[in-house]
Amino acid sequence: MSSHTERVWEDTLQLGKANQVTVELARRHCLNMIFTECGGRGMAEEATGLPINMREVHCLVARGNQAMNLDLIASDFYKAYCVGCTHRRPTGGMPNLATVMEGRAAQAATAAEMERLVTEQRHREWARRVDGVERLSPVPIRRWWVRSMTWAFSIANLV
């Protein structure tokens, strides 16, 4: 096999393994959440048994998107429909989709706070640098320049 083909195969296997984890997290989160195969069957899934083909996520309450990357559609589905759902049938297994999503939200909040602090620090440094530089006196405007620009502007309006 060529190196490109091998890379594609490895990427496909990684996607299948990640999808397998996502399906298990979703099952632990709610027994109503189902990933239904759609869009045909591929040889990679047939050869490996991993969930690689395109799937759609849905439950009793809602129908979600379709994709091969189940983490992406499960995350979107969770945010849109699962938070506060009264029809949830949890298994009690940990970790589940809810704990993973809460962890991601906490990481995103921490990253946003760190970015805010770094930006604040940079602004303070910039302000310190600007305060340290002597301010140059403004260049006086020459009267002849103002008169000539006024004249040019009035000529341009007449044309």
> What region does 49 belong to: left with phi over 0, alpha with psi -120 to 50, or beta?
left
pLDDT band, residue 2 (cuts 50/70/90): confident
Confidence of residue 127 (pLDDT cuts 50, 70, 90): confident
pLDDT computed for residue 131 by the predictor = 73
d(CA 23, CA 144): 77
pLDDT of residue 41: 84
pLDDT at 122: 92
C-alpha closest to that of 78 among 103, 54, 53: 103
Q: Give the phi and the psi of residue 7 in degrees, each rounded to 5.
A: -65, -45
Within 10 angstroms of residue 139's Cβ, the number of other Cβ atoms is: 6
Residue ranges of the alpha helices (H) in the chain? Answer: 3-29, 43-48, 70-77, 97-132, 143-158
pLDDT at 87 exceeding the cut of 60: yes
- Rounded Cα distance between 114 and 106, Å, is 12
Look up the pTM and report it: 0.72
